[in-house]
Structures are given as structure tokens and as C-alpha cells.
A and B are shown apart, each in its own frame.
Chain A
């Protein structure tokens, strides 16, 4: 009977090594080791042996069983590492692209606007929105730009009627807000603005974020502090910032804020016109005349205001070199962001 056991083992091992699939191995395992398997059958006959032969036969049988189990598991490993085998036979190809839902994109202007507003929201600036078609008073006159003021030449205006314009800047939000609310206040106003200009660097419609902070102790230092903080949050804490005197009728002193060129790091390149600096926003301390126009007492409150072009900041962030791309709504563009 021992010989019978050894023959069985040899036969089983040969069949296992010939097996070409997991299924076949499965069948072999059942055939030999299963509850009604051949090896199990032999073992059941142990009782027919003389008592003195039983321990040796038992030992041998256990050894055969172990050997067989080992051979089966090695064969299984062999089959799966030989690869593809199992998976491809189930119709699964892991190298196929995954099945995924489409993801749309927010327009880069919306993304940039969110980024900017988030910074100011964290500093407690409330978001307000005001009309895009605006009265001359809000767009110009209350902002210290009386009729016939040369500063009106700085912005070519679309007129609806003599007294109604497409706002040339979001600064009108300053007046609309201050007329309604008492100081102190902190606001930002995102939105569209319009100027009668169309070339490689101007589109007749564009987006701005206006900001205004008014209070009792708001000095030049706070004004610089908030804007430097903003720049560092958007462009990184290492970016140099400079304040360059400029002129806006509704601020005094006024400044353009420049950042060190993000492309050439200040060495001078085409993007910064070889100056090493990029203009990113206009700003200044609120002109006392503006306070008078909204009924604030310029002897009691001071404040600062700023306005930035969203397109400008988007272009710098992503290295976009053509402003007009923003309004072509070309999906090959929008889907990049």
C-alpha cells in the first residue's frame, strides 16, 4: 500500500506540473486532496493495515499530502506570475484607460476671482456687487472726476446716454457701498468693467476686483501692509513688491503696485518689458473729496482703495500671453485650467 501511495504521489505531481490554468489546478486539488479525493481515499484504508505499519504509513501519507499542497501552490504562483494569464482570460485589461466621469472646468477668470476673493475674505473683507451699467455719478463724479476732468481721458468710456455709462472700473462700488453704510468697512467688489479699447492688450470688457477699507486708524502703513500681504499670498512670500507713485483722481497719495517679474525674477524679459517689474494693481489712500461726496468726515476717517485686473493676474499665474484668449471661449483653452 505504501507503493500505491508513492505511485499516487508521482502521478499527482506530474499532473500538477502539466496543469495550464488555475481551473485545472483547482480540479487537481479536488481530485487528490478533496473530501472524496484519491489521497483521502487511500488514507481511509489505513485501518486495513496491520497496527505496526500504521504509524509509518500515516507519516508517509502526511508527507505526500504536504508535498502535493506545496506543488499546487507553486504551480498556482507559476501560472499567475507567468502573467496576464488569468486576468486577460477574464476579459480585464488593466492597461485600458479607466472609466471616468467628465470633469468640466471653471473659466480661468472665475478661478482667479475666487482665489483673490478668498484672500480678502480671510482678512474679513465683505464681497459686494453693484451694477455694471452705472450712473456717471458713481463711475466718475463722486470719485472726484467732475465732467471735463482730463482724468476722464485715462479711460475711454462707453456711453448709454449722457448720464449713463458702462462702468469703466469697479470703483463705483466704493461710492455705492459708502453711501449705504457707515464706517468702518472692508469690502471687495468683483465684476466686469468696460472700456472702449480693443487691441492685443485691451479687450472692451474685462474683470476687476475693487477693494476698500475705511476706518479711524487706517494709515499708509496699513494700506501697504494689506496689499503686500495679498501679493505674498497670491504670488508667494519671496516676491518683491514696490509701490510706485501714480495718479488716480479718487486716491491721494496714489500708487501702482508692482511685483518682481515672476518670469525672469527681476533680470528683465519680454513679459516685464525688461524692467524686472510687473504692474498688478492701482491703489492709494482714499481722497478726502471722495469721503465728502459720500458724507463721511475726512477729518475723522481715512482709508485705502485698490483695484486690480483679474485677467492680468490670471495671465501672470499661468503664463498666458494673449488677453483675447479669455473671451474666445475656445475649449482647447478653457480645458487647460
Chain B
């Protein structure tokens, strides 16, 4: 909502700067987004009187004008305008003025050899209209040397206000003025509305029938005959332009002017085009076509309200008039519609046609039911004033049920308690009255009865009035204190704590956290290569996505992370380690809402860390991503973490470098090397390893409280063995075999060395195992563990056809 300040001054006096007024309104609920300065370039434009005219010595079409600039100052200017006349008062743009859309500052110039200290201006030069036929003619009696914007009372400052949906009443200059008056405790001046009337009256000349009083509770008509269509005066055009409305003609401008001033949308029909001089308000037929003012043909439904004449539709109620009855240059008689249409009806029509107008916007939010006639009168009066014509006496007012203000009881003591301030009755009543709310005594001393005006459709309940009191008093003038409440709170739910622990475990390993959109591209499932029956194809789709790539909800965290990894590599980040913990969305047939399981995924791409002097460049590997899983399992105390080799990798993993993860045999997820096809699909040109886990299972299985184990009482004995094995033998098999004996003292088997190269043969490797023996009954000796150790070594040599490394 744009509110020009001078217009506001028509209704209320205030002695505040635009910024102070903006702060006042903002602090009371009408948020001012900004103060627009118009005509800042016209500061150096003044009224000047033409004293004498001389021919230009070097140009036939130019003349020299000597003008009085006020205070005895005279200037000579070069001018080419045809209407230059001695005695005329016209705007003079002096050096320093900024004119035109390109904002050029006027300087002293020589035109054909004659110096000109400024320029006499047309309306177009000043940005006041498109008129460039000659110099702008000012009232010759007006003051000479006065700044033009002051002389013409132009709207130089405009407040840009965001009106919340509940405050339809403030979508007008008068509505804003009412708040200003209440806040400053100033009287509100209402505009002059009643027109001079002439016989014959409207009755008998026009008929109005409302067939649907629910959709149209009130419809008033005013008739003006013999108007002369022409441009509006400057003051009106200026105010409309200040509000972002393009001036069209006096009659149309008046309807827009009253719309902004009083918040009542009006429509002016060319009465001559209204068949039978009859207006019928009724629902459209299903599928009916109608051409609106903007020339568009609209297809209507049975719940769109139409304004019709005897033969056809002439307007789409509350949204836009019809092309067939619009006011044209030839119009002489005008019927002014000032009506109240049901907000919901208008909203539905506006929505399904995708057509929102100044009118529909206000009807949707509710206008002043009691104010329809006043607005019609105001328009008639202004048309009379600006376009001539005679206002037919009387008004047709189809208004079967007059506005009845709700009687809202309000307890003074409860209001005071609710707001935390000891307000007395007067302190509650005064703010309400200042807003135009009628207040009377209630059944008891503590209760008052408030009756809000019709424009305040948002005031229905005591609490709504409490808010009005608070608004006028000022929210910041109420006290604040911390609540008295029982102390103690339940512990943080475990799933939240588990996620926090997991995130910390991931960052502790040097991975950085990503947060990707919950949206997914429809091609994501194919990028991963998911089978048609993969559960991750149970996708939730949006009905109204922003774009194709955001048209589904993700069923996997991987596409988001892989795309992020690719972007980071493209930015020359050498070491990409990203993880995310978040929800995915699985459609569930037969259920309204999808399942929202939590998952944890990680991606390692490129190097593990930037090249360092101690490690050099370490390229990511399967062991690294496996380590990430193991670290996470340790951090959350996950029991029975298993890595299973299998022949059925997920379609995006390399069959040679992957494994399935389990927790006590239950499927937890997968990890592995992204295969070539998937890497290509995600534009990844560096080796990329991924980990994708079911986080809900982690939450369920994690051991939240571990039992203390006594420290070993007796020292351990450590024995190492280095086996030379065929390359095909896997460390896991050897370790399993080592553990599979029945030696009760063997407590751990760890790999401490893997070696390939000379003097080993090409297809051989050496595996170093560290075996730890310990008893909880006594101290073991080296000799004691030797028989078991030797048996174990023999078993391994035999089973894997290994030799001992020399």
C-alpha cells in the first residue's frame, strides 16, 4: 500500500517527519517498508513569470525569454516552445535540477551561441505527464519564484506500507489516517462526500436486482448524466501516480481515487451500454465466457459472481469490469457501482482465474460494508466536480441486512492481567474509542461492551480488542519478566542425541557436514541406476514444484552429496569429505503421509587431506571409507558391526570394491567405490567412495549405557607372526581363521603390517598379525603361550598354503 503524505494530511494533522511517522506506524502494526522520495530532482524547479520575449539571433525556431524568478532576480533563457507568451507563469528548471528518466543534472549551456541558465519546462520534462505540446501553464496569479512541488502541492513523499492480511481496513489512505489519529490522539477529518443532486432521480431511470445476497450483501448505484470525459486535473493525476496507478480519464481516475482514499473498490459503467438500464447480480453459468477490461476472454464457473445487464454480463463482480461496458471518450452517462462482495467468493474467482486486481485484493480482505453508499457519493461528487454532469438524486441501495456491529464484552481486569499492566477502565476504553470502536457499559463494573465499525472485520473476540489496546499503548511499553514455572525437564530424546553424537563423530574424522535440499531431481534415481522395484523409487512428487530439478522429494542422501562433491572438486577443493544426516521420504501406498526415515551418508572424493609434508598425497580408498564406518560405530557403541562381501552390489557401486554393513546381522547399509557409470552420471572425475546407512537402525541399536569392565589384572604376552600369502587370500579370512581356534588365552588378533614387493613374488603379500594372550587368573609366560601360538601358526600355514616370512 502506497500512502502519499499530503493525502494523509487531508484527514489527520501530524507534525512528524516522514521517517518518524514511518516509525510510529511500524511500531503499531502497519509496517513501513520505506519512504519514497518523489521529485527529488525538481528541487531547483521554480515558478517563473515571462517578462519579455526576443528572437534568438542565430536560430529561427528558438526565442529568448526574459523571466522573473522572484525576489527581483531575472534570467534570460533559450526556449523553443510554441506557447511561450509574455505574462505566463511557467516552471523554470534552474541549473542543478535533475530532469528526465536518465537523471541528467542541468548545467549552464550555450545554445547556438546564446547562454541559457536553465530551461522552461513542459509537463513531460518534469515527469508529470506525457504532455510535451508546450510549456506547462501555471495559474498566472500564483506566487512567482516558489518551488514548483510546493506550489502544486505535489506528493513528494510516499510511505510504502506492508499491510497484514487481517488489516483490510488499512488498505486505504483513510484507514491509515485512522490509525495515525488514534496513535497521536488527534481528530480524524472525514472527506466531503455528499454531491449536489438533480432531478429526475435515479429511481425510475435504473434498476438493480441482486439474485445472490450471500455473495453480494450490498449493492449501491449512483447515476451521473452528461459528463464530459477528459483528463483529470494535475493534483489527482499526481496522487494516483504516487500510488502507482496510471491516470486514464477523469471518470475512471475518480473511481481509482476513491478506491485508494476510502478502500472501496468502485466500478463505473457506461450507462448507455447497460441494456435495459438494469443491473442484475447473479452467478455465472458453468463454462460461461466473458471478456474482461484487459481484453482477455475468461471461462467462468458456476461460483463466479457476475454483474449483468438485461442481456449479458457486463462485469466480473469484485475483480474486473467488462470490455463491453467500459467508460470511453464518448461516454456521457455513468452508473457508479459501490458494492460489498463476499470475500470468499471473490477470492475463489481471483484464484482460479489467476487474476488479482486492486479491487479483488481488497474484497478478499473484507471492506467496509457500512461505507458503500458514502464511497458512491464521494465518487459522484468528484465526478461532478471534475467531469461536469449532473448527479441524479438518490441512490439505489440493495442492502437487505444492514450491518450490525458485534457486541463484544471485554473484561477490564482480565485485559490488564493478560497484558501485565495495571490498566484502569479509562485506559482500556480510550484506545478503543480512538480507533472508532463504540464502547458502552457492560452488565457489571468490570465489563465493557465494544462495537467495532464495519471496516474492522478482524475484530470479533475480546482478545482481538486486547490487541488493539496493546497496539495503541505500544507493545514496548508493557513490562516483561521471566515466567514462574516448575523446573525440571525431560532428557533430550535419544534420537536427537544419537544424531548429534554421529555428527560429532563425523567431524572428528575430518569430514564436513553438508545440508542438501530435501528435493530431488526426477533423474536422480536413474543416475544411481536404481532398479524399477527399488524401494527408493517410491517417490513423493510435488504437485506444484518450482522447477523440474526440485520436483520430487529425495529417497536417498547420495545424489545431493555426490553433486556437492562434484561441485567442490570443480572448485579445485582437492580433498572432499562430506556427510549428511537427514530425512528421506518414502511414499507409502494407502497412507496419507510418507515415511520419513533418517539416514546418514558420507562421500570421500579425491584426497583424504591436502598434500602434506608428512603424508604426501593420500588418495581416498576403500579402507578410508570403511574406517569412517568403524569410527562411527565406535563413537555410538554400535554392537556387532559386520562387513559382508557379496556379489550383488547396489547399482552405483563397483563390484570389486564394496561391502554390505550389518549390525548384529541386520542390514545397515553399504559402502564402496562409486562405479564408472554412476561417477559419470554425477560428473565425478576423481575416485569417490560412499557410505549410506540406515540411521534409524543406528538409533535403535546403539548401546546407550555401557557396563564397566575391570582392567586386566595380569600382563599380556604379545606374539607376532608374518605370513607370506597368495594375493587372493583376504586378511579377514586369515584373521577369522586365527580367531577360530580354542586357545582361551588369545584375546585379540590385529593386522599390524601388510607388505608387497621384494623379495616377495609378484602375486604374493606378507601379512603381519599381532596376537595378544592374556589370562584373568595369572601372569602368562612366553613359554606357556608358545604351544598355542605354534598350533595357530601351523593352522594358518596349512589353511592358506602360506610360508613364514624370513
Contact = CB atoms under 8 A, between A and B. Distances in A.
A103 to B, nearest CB: 6
A288 B509 CA distance: 50
Interface in B515-540: 515-519, 540
B585 interface: yes
Interface residues of A, number: 86
B398 to A, nearest CB: 25
A102 interface: yes
A335 B492 contact: no
B708 interface: no
A57 interface: no
A214 to B, nearest CB: 10
Given A104-B513, A204-B546, A213-B483, A97 B568 contact: no
B512 A334 contact: yes
Nearest to A221: B420
Contacts of B576: 331
Contact of A148 (B33, B347, B471): B347
B484 A110 contact: no
Given A135-B592, A246-B31, A220 B516 contact: no
B407 interface: no
Interface string A182-198: 00101000001010101
Contact of B567 (A102, A106, A107, A330): A330
B729 to A, nearest CB: 32
A224 B478 contact: yes
Interface stretch (B2-10, B159-167, B386-394, B694-702): B159-167
A245 B475 contact: yes
Contacts of A273: 33-34
B540 A160 contact: yes
A98 B165 CA distance: 60
Given A124-B485, A221-B481, A104 B506 contact: yes
Interface residues of B, number: 94
Interface in B556-593: 560, 564, 567-568, 571, 573, 576-579, 583, 585, 592-593
A318 interface: no
B518 A330 contact: no
Contacts of B418: 219-220, 285, 302
Interface in A203-256: 204-205, 213, 215, 217-226, 228-229, 242-247, 252-256
A229 to B, nearest CB: 6
A226 B482 contact: yes
Given A127-B492, A245-B470, A184 B479 contact: no
Given A186-B485, A252-B463, A133 B364 contact: no
B192 interface: no
A326 B515 contact: yes
B512 A222 contact: no
B489 interface: yes
A175 interface: no
A105 B567 contact: no
B27 interface: yes
Contacts of A97: 613
A246 B577 CA distance: 44
B38 to A, nearest CB: 18
B592 A163 contact: yes
Nearest to B561: A329
B546 A160 contact: no
Contact of B564 (A105, A215, A329): A329
Given A121-B492, A153-B165, A196 B515 contact: no
Given A153-B165, A192-B518, A127 B493 contact: yes
Contacts of B517: 204-205, 327
Interface in A159-203: 159-161, 163-164, 166, 184, 186, 192, 194, 196, 198
A101 interface: yes
Given A158-B544, A213-B483, A242-B27, A334 B514 contact: yes
A83 B500 CA distance: 49
A105 B506 CA distance: 9
A252 B515 contact: no
B298 interface: no
B1 interface: no
A224 to B, nearest CB: 3
A9 to B, nearest CB: 48
A198 B550 CA distance: 11
A250 to B, nearest CB: 12
A167 B320 CA distance: 34
B470 A244 contact: no
Interface string B432-472: 00000000000000000000000000000101101100110
Contacts of B500: 114
A127 B513 CA distance: 22
Interface string B127-138: 000000000000
Contacts of A160: 540-543, 594
A246 B29 contact: yes
A126 interface: yes
Given A134-B593, A242-B476, A222 B481 contact: yes
Given A127-B492, A327-B515, A161 B543 contact: yes
Nearest to A159: B543
Given A133-B540, A244-B31, A106 B165 contact: no
Contact of A103 (B487, B510, B578): B510
Contact of A215 (B463, B485, B573, B609): B485
A161 B553 CA distance: 13
Contacts of B509: 102, 104
B593 A105 contact: no
Contact of A107 (B461, B492, B514, B612): B514
Contacts of B612: 99
A60 interface: no
Interface string A132-145: 11110000000000
A117 to B, nearest CB: 9
B573 A332 contact: yes
Contact of B519 (A205, A229, A255): A205
Contacts of A328: 564, 567
A108 to B, nearest CB: 9
Contact of B514 (A134, A135, A329): A329
B756 interface: no
B467 A252 contact: yes
A198 B164 CA distance: 22
Contact of B29 (A96, A104, A131, A244): A244
Contacts of B348: 148
B706 interface: no
B165 A335 contact: no
B466 A253 contact: yes
Contacts of B470: 220, 245, 253
Contacts of A115: none
A105 B512 contact: yes
Contacts of B488: 124
B417 interface: yes
B513 A245 contact: no
Contacts of B481: 221-222, 225
A133 B463 contact: no
Given A106-B503, A132-B518, A245-B28, A127 B496 contact: yes
Given A124-B489, A288-B463, A253 B417 contact: no
10 tightest CB-CB pairs across the interface, nearest first? A102-B510, A221-B420, A245-B29, A247-B164, A224-B480, A104-B507, A253-B467, A243-B475, A329-B564, A222-B483
Given A243-B475, A246-B31, A247-B164, 5 more contacts: A150-B347, A161-B543, A204-B546, A205-B517, A329-B514
6 contacts: A114-B500, A133-B593, A160-B542, A218-B483, A245-B28, A334-B513
Interface of A: 96-97, 99, 101-107, 109-110, 114, 121, 124-129, 131-135, 148-151, 153-154, 158-161, 163-164, 166, 184, 186, 192, 194, 196, 198, 204-205, 213, 215, 217-226, 228-229, 242-247, 252-256, 273, 275, 285, 287-288, 302, 326-332, 334-335
